[in-house]
Amino acid sequence: MYMGAMCRIKPAEVEEEEEALGVVWHYREVGDHGEAGIRQTLSKGVSPEVFDRLQVKGYLRIEAGKVGFSDEGERLARDVTRRHRLAERLLVDMLDLGADSIDENACRWEHILSPEATTAICTLLGHPRHCPHGTAIPPGECCTKWTQQAESVITSLDKLAPGSSGKVAYLALAEKSVMQKLLSLGLTPGSTVSLQQKAPSIVVQAGETVIALEAELARHISVRKNPD
């Protein structure tokens, strides 16, 4: 007997619409509002009639051959783009996946992340502003709040105040051997580190191990600040 909760799945056409809104958002970012170009791109990925459906539903408006969003359309497009690019960051920064698996996963995740999960990921990553490809991640409410407080729960190790401590959230280092060395010294996700000093070298303590490291490395170690 099945004991779990029933999972709700978005209908395929909703996913298609989200996908298409993402494409339009991208075109607007690069300053291209031409209907023909957008239609052509859409016909390669999703079914061509999606574009018309978006118009019927009132998400898109066309004025003098230029494609624009309605308020509702803009909100949906922004959200899907935000989810996609946050997913990319998560896959690159934390899971250290290669370029081919990033696209594949991010394209699926953009449709399934709930608003709560999106906010949690954004917070975990320290409210990043750009995706790994360098384009802007549309900010969410959590980002605005965060900027106002000017303080993030997650920060890089080198931004911790001397004498304070935090829990290692993740290490985002390109080189595997460096990563393994840090892990073997006890700088593992979840472990508590305290920052002893920042200059001339950064010195941290993890458990009973004291480690000196250069600032460049510390920038790639993200920690969740402990409340003082």
Partner 1 sequence: MTSSGHCGHAEPESAEIAAGRIALVGHPNVGKSVVFNRLTGSYVTVSNYPGTTVDVTRGIGRLQGRSWQVIDTPGVRSLTPQSEDELASRDLLLRERPDVVIQVADAKNLKQTLMLTAALADLGLPMVLALNMSDEAESRGYHCDVRRLSGILGIPVVQTVATAGAGLEELKACLSHAARANRVEYCAEIESALRRLKPAPASGESDRFVGLALLSGDEGVCGCLPHADPEKTGGALVRAQELRRDFVRPPEFLVHAGREAWAMEVVGEVQTRSRAGRPGWLQTLDKWSMRGLPGYALAAGTLLVMYYFVGVLAAGHGVDFMENTLFGEYLNPTAVRWVRAAVPSPFLQDMLVGEYGIVTMALTYALAIVFPIVTAFFLFFGCLEDSGYLPRLSAMLDKAFRLVGLNGKAVIPMVLGLGCDTMATLSTRILDSRKERLLATMLLTLGIPCSAQLGVIMGILAKHGLREWAVWLAAVGGTTLAAGWAASKLLPGARSPFIMEIPPLRIPEPGNILLKIKIRLVWYLKEAVPLFMLGTLALFLFDRIGVLKRVEVLLAPVTTTLLGLPSETAWCFILGFLRRDYGAAGLFTLAEKGALDSRQIVVSLVAITLFMPCLAQFLVMVKERGARAACFISAFVFATAFAVGAALNQFLAFTNLL
Q: How far apart are CA 26 and CA 198, in angstroms?
A: 41
Measured from the CB atom, the residue of 55 and 196 that comes closer to partner 1 is: 196
Measured from the CB atom, the residue of 20 and 168 that comes closer to partner 1 is: 168
Measured from the CB atom, the residue of 56 and 210 that comes closer to partner 1 is: 210
CB of 93 to partner 1, least distance (A): 13
Please select the residue that binds partner 1; options are 46, 76, 124, 217, rule is CB under 8 A: 217
Binding characters for partner 1, 168-207, by CB under 8 A (x = yes): -------xxxx-xxxxxxx-x-------xx-xxx-x---x
CB of 137 to partner 1, least distance (A): 23
Binding characters for partner 1, 17-56, by CB under 8 A (x = yes): ----------------------------------------
Please select the residue that binds partner 1; options are 64, 216, 227, 228, rule is CB under 8 A: 216
CB of 105 to partner 1, least distance (A): 9
In three-state form (DSSP H/G/I as H, E/B as E, the rest C), the secondary structure along the chain is CCCCCCCCCCCHHHHHHHHHHHHHHHHHHCCCCEHHHHHHHHHHHCCCCHHHHHHHCCCEEEECCEEEECHHHHHHHHHHHHHHHHHHHHHHHHCCCCHHHHHHHHHHHHHHCCHHHHHHHHHHCCCCCECCCCCECCCCHHHHHHHHHCCCCEEEHHHCCCCCEEEEEEECCCCHHHHHHHHHCCCCCCCEEEEEECCCCEEEEECCEEEEECHHHHCCEEEEECCC
Measured from the CB atom, the residue of 151 and 208 that comes closer to partner 1 is: 208
CB of 166 to partner 1, least distance (A): 18
Q: How far apart are CA 164 and CA 139, in angstroms?
A: 29
In sequence order, which residues have a C-beta less than 8 Å from that of residue 163 and are 6 or more positions away?
194, 195, 196
Q: How far apart are CA 126 and CA 146, in angstroms?
A: 9
Judged by CB under 8 A, how many residues of this single chain contact partner 1?
31
Interactions with partner 1, residue window 93-132 (CB under 8 A): 95-97
CB of 207 to partner 1, least distance (A): 6
Measured from the CB atom, the residue of 44 and 176 that comes closer to partner 1 is: 176
Summarize as ranges the residues that interact with partner 1 (CB under 8 A): 95-97, 175-178, 180-186, 188, 196-197, 199-201, 203, 207-214, 216-217
